[in-house]
Amino acid sequence: MTRWTVRRLRRPQATTSLYFFPHAGGSPGEFVRWSDHLPEFQVWGVHLPGRTSRAGEPAYTRMEPLVEALVSAVTFAERSVFFGHSLGALVAFETARELRRRGLAPPAGLIVSSCPAPPLPPEVTAESLSTLGDDDLFGRAVRLWDLPAADLSADPAFKKHAVISLRGDFAVLENYRYRPEPALDAWITVLSGDQEPPSVRAPSWQQHTHRPVSTAVLPGGHFYFRQQQHEILRILRDTVLTRGDH
């Protein structure tokens, strides 16, 4: 274990490890808690610089150095599945490709949540959120994700750290340039909320895998899984156990 990954429970008997890649501005804690409900798996949260206990480290602003540093620091389990939400799905995808470039074991599958397939549609990267002032950046994130602004703004320390991680993560997204490579030999499952833009449910993820892509749409918006936790956990378990290494 390195500072790049965190876990809640150690499960040496688990044959598959699930790695969770959080959304922009997100921390791994929300997903690591799912370990309580996924006893079949070793659950890891990917912990990027610029947030929570790594708040003193500068946040990355470009995908390539971020992924290179992550893969250099973490020894991913041989049998693994990556789950990424929003920007986290993009980081998970590029991490899988970097593992392949280095001749290391890539994940058996990717579960991509609320993220269009690369190359990203222009509307995703058109707005330069990373250059906004602190208040405007925080307010824009609140509106984008329907967050409880009054509750969050009441904690100045939280707001300060949230802005730092959001600014870096939005810069990663805005600076991202997809480089075509052969499709992955990993299955892909696409998840989204039914109130999200159609682009996150587009079938274009199929171009990135030799295997059939499966999809599931749940009620809700960008953070649909917070209202549908029981269902998302069921989908995760069923998907990994059914698709496995195949």
Cα separation, 178 vs 176, in Å, equals 6
- 42: which strand partners? 17
pLDDT digits (tens, 9 = 90+) for 138-170: 888 777 666 655 455 557 777 777 888 889 999
Please list, in sequence order, all residues whose beta carbon lies within 8 angstroms of the beta carbon of residue 93, skipping any fewer than 6 positions away.
82, 84, 110, 112, 118, 208
Cα separation, 181 vs 119, in Å, equals 12
User: In the chain, what are the domain boundaries?
Assistant: 5-120+181-243
CATH of the domain spanning 5-120+181-243? 3.40.50.1820
- Work out the angle between the directed axes of helices 156-175 and 87-101 (0-180°, nearest 10): 50
Cα separation, 53 vs 74, in Å, equals 17
Is 85 annotated in the active site?
no
Cα separation, 116 vs 114, in Å, equals 7
| Annotated active-site residue in 23, 47, 85, 222 | 222
Instruction: Please report, rounded to a whole number, the percentage of residues in the chain having pLDDT higher than 70.
Output: 91
Token pair for residue 215?
């999809």
pLDDT digits (tens, 9 = 90+) for 192-218: 999 998 888 878 999 999 999 999 999
In the prediction, which pLDDT does 162 show?
81
Instruction: Count CB neighbours of 47 within 10 A.
Output: 21
Q: What is the pLDDT along the chain (246 residues), one digit of tens a residue?
A: 579 999 999 999 999 999 999 999 888 999 999 999 999 999 999 999 998 899 889 999 999 999 999 999 999 999 999 999 999 999 999 999 999 999 999 999 999 999 999 998 876 665 688 888 888 888 887 776 666 554 555 577 777 778 888 899 999 999 999 999 999 999 999 999 999 988 888 789 999 999 999 999 999 999 999 999 999 999 999 999 988 765
| Annotated active-site residue in 17, 35, 86, 165 | 86
Is 222 annotated in the active site?
yes
> CA geometry: angle at 78 spanning 75 and 36, to 5°?
85
